[in-house]
């Protein structure tokens, strides 16, 4: 007979494995690549040096009418204020340059509208944020399987949030900050989006890359409006991207002739950069150019109704500027185009929609009349001519 005391209960010992942060960091980089990012880096949250520079930049009013930059203050340089307890920032990049960038063919034709190449496809904000969220969830699930004391918190960010993504990307080893203030990578150039995942894990950090611009000032001398006022310093008030996207009111007259046919953003400082000879093309279908936006005729764009503008720009970064600013930008480009009776007629037909728009229409009509009287055909600036030659010679794939 079996005695009861012979039955001894032995509690099951649950084996737990400590969390290996070095292994986790390596896994994070692999997961990031699997999610479609081309590079993943990790850095700490110290932006004290950049915070001082940011305050000086704001004090000089270089942010123009971007009041939100001043409103957020130094939060931009303090990830801990965005997610309390943040210890590390996981920085990622994703290529966006399309297979047929058509830089020269568009910039060289004053009857076409040039749209910054990042905006030709679907708005990147939601896509990057969703991928970053998936990366955070993978990290969370992984940590659940190990002995980890505490609650794992993470928060994804793209550039619509108040965060200094470029200094963070540089700290995380994704590249260095070029003189045009964008991140440059020696294997990929600069045609990529950035995103960040704030996390409260003390992951090992990556080393920053060495700055490799040297004495090159191509971006500074090519900028149509002289917005790069010193190496690494942009006066946004002069930048065509600011003038066509962020500025809500009247574009200063001094900049209008210099804008050429750029109706949304400007890529000149990137196009001319020698490192972009090594740029990588995107493999994301969402970033493929919409045919109607790729090499569009200015008059076709100008004749869109507001309903058509909203329909075509659904899911596009362009939509955020609204119909009136869209017309304003195209009006300036039409003013810079060779004289056509159809241009003057189209401009006249839009008079009376809005006082701000009327200011630009009157200017554009005046430019058209001057061009007709002087029989001026060539309206390109010397800088634009040099840029187009550089594209044709150095970037035949993207010309």
45-86 tens-digit pLDDT = 999 999 999 999 999 999 999 998 888 888 899 999 999 999
144 — pLDDT class (breaks 50, 70, 90):
confident
Which of 154-163, 294-303, 328-337, 357-366 is the least confident region? 154-163
- pLDDT tens string 107-120: 999 999 999 999 99
Query: Is position 266 annotated in a ligand binding site?
Result: yes
To the question of whether residue 219 is assigned a binding role by annotation, the answer is yes
Q: Is 159 annotated as contributing to ligand binding?
A: yes
DSSP 228: E
394-399 mean pLDDT: 80
What's the pLDDT at 13?
36
Q: How confident is the model at residue 399 (pLDDT cuts 50, 70, 90)?
A: confident
pLDDT at 9: 37
Determine the average pLDDT of the residues in 193-221. Answer: 97
Residue 220, CB-side half-sphere exposure with 13 Å CA sphere? 14
pLDDT at 394: 79
Has 76 been labeled as part of a binding site?
yes
For residues 135 and 155, the answer to whether their CB atoms sit within 8 Å is no
- pLDDT at position 149: 63
Please report the pLDDT score of residue 11 as a whole number: 37
Q: Can you tell me the distance from the alpha carbon of 287 to that of 22, in angstroms, rounded to the nearest whole number?
A: 33
Has residue 326 got a pLDDT over 90? yes
pLDDT for the residue numbered 41: 99
Of the candidates 322, 330, 323, 325, the residue with the CA atom closest to the CA atom of residue 256: 330
Cβ–Cβ < 8 Å for 276, 291? no
Strand order of the sheet with strand 39-43? 39-43, 88-95, 192-199, 154-157
Q: Which residue has the tokens 């063919």?
A: 105
Taking 50 as the threshold, does the pLDDT of residue 2 lie above it?
no
Active centre residues (catalytic)? 159
Is 241 annotated for ligand binding?
A: yes
Distance CA 28, CA 136 (A): 9
Residue boundaries of the structural domains of the chain: 21-98+120-199, 218-398
Tokens linked to 206:
């990556």
Q: Is 286 annotated as a binding residue?
A: no
Residue 391 has pLDDT above 90, yes or no: no
pLDDT at 18: 83
Question: Mean pLDDT for the chain?
Answer: 92
Per-residue pLDDT at 376: 73
| Beta-carbon contacts of residue 266 (< 8 Å; ≥ 6 apart) | 114, 116, 224, 239, 240, 241, 244
Return the percentage of the chain with pLDDT > 90, whole number: 82
């Amino acid at each position: 007979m079996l005695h009861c005391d012979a039955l001894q209960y032995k509690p099951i010992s649950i084996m737990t494995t400590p969390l290996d942060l070095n292994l986790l960091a390596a896994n994070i980089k692999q997961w990031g690549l699997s999610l479609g990012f081309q590079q993943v880096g990790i850095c700490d949250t110290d932006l004290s040096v950049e915070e001082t520079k940011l305050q000086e930049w704001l004090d000089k009013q270089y942010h123009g009418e971007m009041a939100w930059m001043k409103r957020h203050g130094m939060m931009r340089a303090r990830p801990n204020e965005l997610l309390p307890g943040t210890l590390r920032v996981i920085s990622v990049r994703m290529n966006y340059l399309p297979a047929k960038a058509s830089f020269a063919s568009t910039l060289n034709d004053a009857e076409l509208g040039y749209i910054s190449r990042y905006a030709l496809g679907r708005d990147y904000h939601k896509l990057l944020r969703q991928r970053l969220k998936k990366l955070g969830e993978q990290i969370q699930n992984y940590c659940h399987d190990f002995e980890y004391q505490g609650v794992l918190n993470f928060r994804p960010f793209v550039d619509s949030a108040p965060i200094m993504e470029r200094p963070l990307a540089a700290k995380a080893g994704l590249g260095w900050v070029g003189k045009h203030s964008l991140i440059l990578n020696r294997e990929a150039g600069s045609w990529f989006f950035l995103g960040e995942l704030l996390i409260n894990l003390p992951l090992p950090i990556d080393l920053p890359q060495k700055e490799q611009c040297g004495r090159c000032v191509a971006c500074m001398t090519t900028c149509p409006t002289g917005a790069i006022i010193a190496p690494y310093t942009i006066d946004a008030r002069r930048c065509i991207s600011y003038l066509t996207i962020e500025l809500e009111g009247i574009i200063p007259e001094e900049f209008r002739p210099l804008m050429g046919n750029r109706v949304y953003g400007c890529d000149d400082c990137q196009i001319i950069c020698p490192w972009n000879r090594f740029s990588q093309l995107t493999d994301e279908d969402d970033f493929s150019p919409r045919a109607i936006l790729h090499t569009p005729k200015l008059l076709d764009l100008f004749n869109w109704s507001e309903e058509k503008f909203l329909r075509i720009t659904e899911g596009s970064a362009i939509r955020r500027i609204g119909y009136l600013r869209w017309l304003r930008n195209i009006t300036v480009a039409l003013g810079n185009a060779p004289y056509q009776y159809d241009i003057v007629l189209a401009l006249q037909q839009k008079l009376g929609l809005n006082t701000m728009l009327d200011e630009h229409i009157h200017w554009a009509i005046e430019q058209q009349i001057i061009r007709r009287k002087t029989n001026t055909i060539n309206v390109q600036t010397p800088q634009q001519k040099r840029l187009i030659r550089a594209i044709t010679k150095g970037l035949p794939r993207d010309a």
